[in-house]
Amino acid sequence: MIAFVRHGQTALNRGGRLQGRVDAPLSALGAQQAAALGASFAGEAITRVISSPLQRARDTAAAIAVHHGLAVDVDERLIELDYGDWDGLALADVPTSGWAAWRADVHFVPPGGESLVAVVDRVGAFCADQLGDELVIAVSHVSPIKAAVCAALGVDAGATWRMHLSVASVSRVGGRPDGSSYLVSYNETVPLAEV
């Protein structure tokens, strides 16, 4: 099973901005959320912790790995969707025509960026490599985690527009012997009181 963990809060996502490949650190609240996630996984038999290369994900992963004496492995396939020229923009500042085109076509590529289909492909390859009987933690971002959910449900990548995924949340994907995947849980959140 893979437990996909969305990193804790950053100042950019708190402000409603597209982060993409901007390497923003966790906010103070994000660090508390990461610690709460780590505590929530402390009793689970985790065999591996894998992270996106971006700092906010690596710091969240480290807060989980420390409870198990594990190192954090980095996998580029877990990196956030590349918003290209839109990285760092407030949602209200994304050109209206571009936003409409993006929502209408999973193959649409933001200027200098990456399509939803490309994210589904790379996350699907990650899942094929990592799904098994053991529990693997994969700390990532909103778009890759939604892509994993789409793959598990066998739905088009456009379904990502109909999902909300909280920061510091957990979504679990299981694997069957035939190589298919299925959704176990979605958007689990951990109270900060658990820290």
Catalytic residues: 7, 80
Residue 93 burial class via C-beta count within 10 angstroms: exposed 0-12, middle 13-18, buried 19 and up:
exposed
CA atoms within 13 A on the CB side of 137: 34
Per the CB < 8 A criterion, the answer to whether 125 and 168 are in contact is no
List residues bridging with 136 in a β-sheet: 2, 48
| Residue 127 Rama label (left phi>0; alpha psi -120 to 50; beta) | alpha
The DSSP secondary structure of 161-179, one letter per residue, reads: GG----TTEEEEEEE-TTS
In 3D space, the residue among 169, 164, 166 whose CA is nearest the CA of residue 190 turns out to be 169
Q: How large is the angle between the packed helices 142-153 and 116-130, nearest 10 degrees?
A: 70
